[in-house]
Structure 1
Amino acid sequence: MSTDQESRPGRGPRQSPAEFEALYAALRRRATGAGGSPARIPPACVRAAAGEIRSGRTVTLAAPVETRSAPDNPQPAGHRLTGPSEDEALALGLHFATDRFGMNVHGDADSHLDALCHVVWNGTLHGGVSAASLTPEGATALSVELARDGIVGRGVLLDIPRLRGVPWLDPGDHVTAADLLAAERSQDVRVGEGDLLFVRVGHRRRRTESGPWNAAETRAGLHPAAMELLAERRVAALGGDGNNDTAPSLTDGVEFPVHVLGVHALGLYLLDYLQFEDLVPLCEEEGRWSFFCVVAPLRLPRATGSPVNPIAIL
């Protein structure tokens, strides 16, 4: 049955390896990308998305980069001021403040974009590209450089804690296709072709109010079967304030099923560990949950992802 016909929110069942493989094969057939090329947002969708700009207010969907160790961030970003020296700072004349950053792009704290080369499944990347294209010098195919012109379109935020009347989903809980459909009805919005879908589970609010925890072991995310709805609607990207994948995994033998289905099967860009706490009040104030959105990853040739600061424009 089409996921559009399922309307009752609730918990989805665990998936067996056979059920996951059947879903993977079905989504692979739906993929709009060909030969390893990501699905593109049609120019007509981008032009239409520009109509979402009404008030002109802008808001970030990214969290500040973390530079302190935490249970979910044992390898925090390194930041060091490289200039000026103490003597230069107090001296007359011109001097420059300079710094250096280093970070683990795919951690469990910092907002980032997954490139299409990030997920390796059965020896291949998206579109059947050989995983041998990943070399010590970097990715020779499907790197984040494919997104150098930005991911631009209509963003839609579906707020699941708002739907359920809770501040956040508890770690280990998950979002079903029925939840997404119910959120659409509650928020009077519908996700469509070329949209950038953002699903709030309240991860960031819980982290802020209750403190960091080991999100690698337990976190809220999507049920893998919900990805069928995204394929039907032909969305272009999926972003969450957590990792998008539930932990512990709901699929036996597959630790990150949403990543495999989204990135590898469908060719979606995934954005992990965003924050929507600045966006939600603006959406509530304006009475709408769609907006123009610009995602501009760094140009990092051969990289498997990028830190990212998506901007919503209402």
Structure 2
Amino acid sequence: MSGSHADDDPGRPADAAPGGPAVSRAEFDSVFAAVSTWGRWPEADRGAWNRVTGDHVRRAAALVRSGTTVQLGLPWNTRAGPDNSRPALHYMSDLGDVEAPEPATHKDFIAADYHGKAVSHLDALCHVAYRGRLYDGRPARESVDAGGARFGSVEALGPLVTKGVLLDLPAVLGTDWLEPGHAVRARDVLAAERALGVTIDEGCAVLLRSGRFRRRRELGPWDADAACAGLHVDAVPLLAERAIALLGGDGDSDVRPSPVEGVHSPVHALAVAAMGVPLLDNLDLEALSAACAEARRHEFMIVVSPLRVPGGTGSPVNPVAVL
């Protein structure tokens, strides 16, 4: 079928509010405490990546059958628009037109304020604080200043190789995309596992496809800060119970508008600040969806290697799935 719309979305009742059922601040704080892993690992600034051992890497490698590789990063986005208020920079710094010994060289410069909705990136543990605390209870004001982060920086994470699971919600629901504001609940995650024949388990990376970039190609860009499909708060305890290492998607994992008054990114707060789970934002999952459908499996090896930025709050990244 063609793209779904809010009033005919098969994955959401017609009377469902955008963002899903409201969650009070007290209820949210209870969830935060329940999923917290503060104090669990000596290398606290690696958070949930401490779960991934050599056994997990070997398990992931065993998922490679055809050797098909799929890059998950978006093209470098230098064009302003409703979902790109801070365009990335790319310009040529050397055109090989200055007399010099052979060979001539061509050089370019790139830069990005990458947190947002336009650049595929990884959120490190220093990126999110809730009630003044980073992951593991570290005071944010003492841990991050104008020189960068002294705890939870992206350099502390290193690379990750583990099992990836694609929760392809549009494929499960028989539609092309989820409409902005569609809240993915715990029951939807369980239904997707059953329908796709996958298991979310310890140390794996969970990727949620909403079909955002297919919708964008067909209908044009919109302000994804105001409305975007993503996870509802009630899905997070399930992911915490399964002991995941990484969460990502073609949005930023949060449904928008937020169901929690006064908390604009509740899934960010729960995943990063409570669980120590880094996030992958703004992935292009369309090619992976097609590859998984062709292979008839939605589990694969994923390789994530962020830039080594001392004190960095994250990194632009181009993860690779290998089937």
TM-score band, normalised by the shorter chain? over 0.9
Q: Secondary structure at the match of 1:155?
A: strand
SS at match of 1:198: strand
* Per-residue Cα deviation, 1:165-224 (whole angstroms, up to 9, x for no partner): 111111111101111111111111111111000011111111122111111111111001
TM-score normalised by length of structure 1? 0.92
Matches within 5 A, 1:1-314: 12-28=20-36, 32-33=40-41, 36-37=44-45, 38-39=47-48, 40=50, 41-84=52-95, 86=97, 93-131=102-140, 132-148=142-158, 150-314=159-323
Residue type of the partner of 2:35? L
Q: Distance in 1 between matches of 2:280 and 2:40?
A: 19
**How many angstroms apart in 2 are the aligned matches of 1:105 and 1:29?**
27
Asked if 2 retains the 8 angstrom alpha-carbon contact of 1:295 and 1:311, the reply is yes
- Contact 2:93-2:109 within 8 A present in 1 as well: yes
Q: Distance in 2 between matches of 1:29 and 1:191?
A: 18
Distance 1:93 1:45 in 2: 48
Distance 1:303 1:30 in 2: 21
- Structure 2 distance, partners of 1:121, 1:30, is 13
Q: Distance in 1 between matches of 2:41 and 2:224?
A: 31
Cα 1:191–1:32 shift into 2, 3 Å: farther
Instruction: Give how far 1:92 is off.
Output: 8.6
Q: Report if aligned partners of 2:88, 2:110 keep a CA contact under 8 Å in 1.
A: yes
Contact 1:9 1:176 in 2 (8 A): no
Contact 1:30 1:231 in 2 (8 A): no
Report the alpha carbon displacement of residue 47 of structure 1 after superposing the two structures with TM: 1.3
Count how many residue pairs are aligned between Structure 1 and Structure 2.
304
Distance between the aligned counterparts of 2:215 and 2:274, measured in 1? 31
What is the DSSP-based 3-state SS (H/G/I as helix, E as strand, rest coil) of the residue aligned with 2:311?
A: coil
Partner SS, residue 260 of structure 1: helix
Sequence identity, in percent?
A: 46
| Residues 189 and 30 of structure 1, relative CA distance in 2, 3 Å threshold | farther
Instruction: Indicate the residue corresponding to 1:4 in structure 2.
Output: none
Give the superposition deviation at 1:78.
0.6
Q: Distance in 2 between the 1:35 and 1:96 partners?
A: 43
SS, match of residue 52 in structure 1: coil
Counterparts of 2:248 and 2:81, CA distance in 1: 23
Matched residues in 1 for 2:172 and 2:292: separation? 14
1:35–1:14 Cα change, 3 Å: farther
TM-score (norm 2): 0.90
Cα distance in 1 for partners of 2:139, 2:24 equals 26
Q: Tell me how far apart the structure 2 counterparts of residues 227 and 241 of structure 1 sit (CA, whole Å).
A: 17
Q: Distance in 2 between matches of 1:209 and 1:307?
A: 26
Distance 2:290 2:281 in 1: 21
Structure 2 distance, partners of 1:308, 1:113, is: 6
Q: Distance in 1 between matches of 2:26 and 2:145?
A: 31
Taking the aligned partners of 2:246 and 2:12, their CA distance within structure 1 comes to 23
For residues 42 and 257 of structure 2, what CA distance do their matches in structure 1 show? Answer: 32
Structure 2: gaps (5+ residues): 1-10
Letter in 2 for 1:50: A
Q: Are 2:38 and 2:137, in contact at CA under 8 Å, matched by a contact in 1?
A: no
In 1: Cα distance, 2:203 partner to 2:12 partner: 25
Deviation (angstroms), 1:43: 2.0
Q: Alpha-carbon deviations, 1:291-311, whole Å to 9, x = none?
A: 011000011111101001000
Distance (whole Å) between structure 1 residues aligned to residue 288 and residue 68 of structure 2: 10
Which ranges of structure 1 fall in alignment gaps of 5 or more residues? Answer: 1-7
SS in structure 2 of the partner of residue 117 of structure 1 = helix
